[in-house]
Amino acid sequence: MANVIVIGTQWGDEGKGKITDLLSRSADVVVRYQGGINAGHTVVVNEQTFKLHLIPSGILYPQTECIIGSGTVVDPQILLEELEQLHRLGVSTDNLFIAETAHVTMPYHRLIDKASETQRAEHKIGTTGRGIGPTYADKSERVGIRILDLMDKDVLQKRLRWAVEQKNIVLEKMYDLPPLDPQEVITCYTEYAELLKPYVVDASLKIDEAIRKRLNILFEGAQGTLLDLDHGTYPYVTSSNPIAGGACIGAGVGPTTIDRIIGVSKAYTTRVGEGPFPTELNDCTGELLCDRGAEFGTTTGRRRRCGWFDGVIGRYAVRINGLDCLAITKLDVLDELDEINVCVAYELDGQEIRDFPSNARVFAKCRPIYKSLPGWKASTQDCKSLTELPLAAQSYLKFLEDLLEIPIAIVSIGASRGQTIIVEDPIHGPKRGLLNV
């Protein structure tokens, strides 16, 4: 039995979907613990591509139970579309469960998200426009509507009518938008409630049953460490806690339940939306990474900003998440490069700094200090073991391991399941020992 958290160590899109799918093979339960349909996880199985936003990536294994946890925000319309997509592709969702305490994204959340971004003009965050921030804001304000409210017709009528009336004031007065018809929203969400009813459970209790049976539980994070609301590059972050600490809150389990934490890192870095990005490449190398890596957002189709691997944020991710080991993805994207840079420290006002600055304004002023490593100029996509990789690729991985002081357990060299090198058992193999660092 092992309970494992899988998280992104950068600004999202690290390939968490692929790694979660891979690890789900030996998981009995997969729990998505935060975020909403802002996430986009692509999983490729037998040349079939699955794009998941809210449903855990473990859904492709029929025996695995998948739980959309309490810390998530659920947009019923998109969730139902996602269910339909899976059914069309022959995937059963009988083992899917939704936490009754998760909050629900409403049409006014989406409208407010988009309108507030427009109003912020040059200060915009570059959100996915999916209503994520406003849904979490209502949760914090204690005026949100939860899945359990959705399931109670009378409560839904009352609370939703009040909520729409309140939000209409905001829509009209603040954003000059037409009001929503409360009855239309109520009718629509009452229909969604009927369709989602069979999936709704007390998720924390269900997870506890799995813990008591000593089953293997995988906690799947969305977004990434640097998008964390408390510990990311605020305000250019998402509105939830993707970091490992968020898993316990979002799933409703105690910290003592967790056995291992696996970080997923791209072999380079990408970012979607606004905000500082020291190793960003606004040149032909950046374009090459974008083209070879097909770096376009799964959710919004936006071109992802690309840059070199950043060891400073890598070390920060190891620290803030208490990572045990790493999965490095998309190594193959670097196959054609003559030389590869890795950021080992920052230069700030003439000083070298090695620790990620928590002040985002300071972070924005940091310039990368690079160590240049030779490229391998050969395809890695069919390699089956670490020793089959070109020597320069092995050296690159060793360099990252030494820089971040953490073992690399998995190396991904392509989107499909087979294009994966298991260096060490990610769940039971060597882990970062605090005494060794």
> 179 or 276: whose CB is closer to ligand IMO?
276
Kind of pairing between the strands at 96-99 and 200-201: parallel
Is residue 65 close enough to count as binding Mg ion by CB under 5 A?
A: no
Question: 372 and 389 in contact (C-beta within 8 Å)?
Answer: no
Instruction: Produce one character per residue of 80-109: b if its CB has 16 or more CB atoms within 10 Å, e if not.
Output: eebbeebeeeebebebbbbbbbbbbbbbbb
Minimum gap (Å) between residue 268 Cβ and ligand GDP: 11
> 180 or 267: whose CB is closer to Mg ion?
267
> CA 236, 239, 240: angle at the middle one, nearest 5?
120
* End-to-end alpha carbon distance in the chain: 27
What's the token pair of residue 401? 């391991």
Binding mask 81-120 toward Mg ion (x if CB under 5 A, else -) reads ----------------------------------------
Minimum gap (Å) between residue 313 Cβ and ligand IMO: 14
Restricting to residues 159-218, name those near ligand IMO by CB under 6 A. none
Kind of pairing between the strands at 48-52 and 41-45: antiparallel
Is residue 327 close enough to count as binding ligand IMO by CB under 6 A?
A: no
> 12 or 246: whose CB is closer to ligand IMO?
12
Minimum gap (Å) between residue 318 Cβ and Mg ion: 21
Q: Which of 227, 323, 337, 373 binds ligand IMO (CB under 6 A)?
A: 227
Is residue 99 close enough to count as binding ligand IMO by CB under 6 A?
A: no
- For the question of residue 291 being annotated catalytic, the response is no
> 40 or 245: whose CB is closer to ligand IMO?
40
Give the closest residue to 263 by CA, choosing from 229, 313, 304: 313
Region from 7-15, 154-162, 203-211, 282-290 binding ligand IMO, contact rule CB under 6 A: 7-15
Q: Is 257 left (phi over 0), alpha (psi -120 to 50) or beta?
A: alpha
Provide φ and ψ at 373, rounded to 5°: -120, 150
- DSSP assignment of 275-309 equals S--TTB--SHHHHHHHHHTT-B-TTT-PBPEEE-E
How many CB atoms sit inside 10 A of residue 140's CB? Answer: 9
Question: Which of 21, 28, 41, 332 is an active site residue?
Answer: 41
| DSSP single-letter state for residue 231 | T
- Per CB under 6 A, residues contacting ligand GDP are 8, 12-18, 40-42, 44, 298, 329-330, 332-333, 412-415
What's the token pair of residue 170? 């905001």
Region from 128-136, 158-166, 176-184, 190-198 binding ligand IMO, contact rule CB under 6 A: 128-136
Question: Which strand (E) or helix (H) includes residue 50?
Answer: strand 48-52
Minimum gap (Å) between residue 81 Cβ and Mg ion: 17
Question: Which of 13, 75, 113, 324 is an active site residue?
Answer: 13
> 137 or 148: whose CB is closer to ligand IMO?
137
Restricting to residues 19-78, name those near ligand IMO by CB under 6 A. 38-41
How many residues bind ligand IMO (CB under 6 A)? The answer is 25
How many residues make up the chain in this entry?
437
Within 8 A by CB and 6+ apart from 320, the residues are 225, 228, 231, 243, 244
Give the closest residue to 76 by CA, choosing from 112, 50, 109: 109
Is residue 272 close enough to count as binding ligand IMO by CB under 6 A?
A: yes
Is residue 132 close enough to count as binding ligand IMO by CB under 6 A?
A: yes
> 106 or 270: whose CB is closer to ligand GDP?
270
Restricting to residues 7-46, name those near Mg ion by CB under 5 A. 13, 40
Rounded CA gap, 46 and 62, in Å? Answer: 16
> 85 or 204: whose CB is closer to ligand GDP?
85
Is residue 15 close enough to count as binding ligand IMO by CB under 6 A?
A: no
| Residues of the shown chain interacting with ligand IMO in the complex, contacts defined by CB under 6 A | 8, 11-13, 38-41, 125-128, 130, 132-133, 222-224, 227, 236, 238-239, 272-273, 298
Binding residues (CB under 5 A) for Mg ion: these are: 13, 40, 298
Residues marked as catalytic: 13, 41
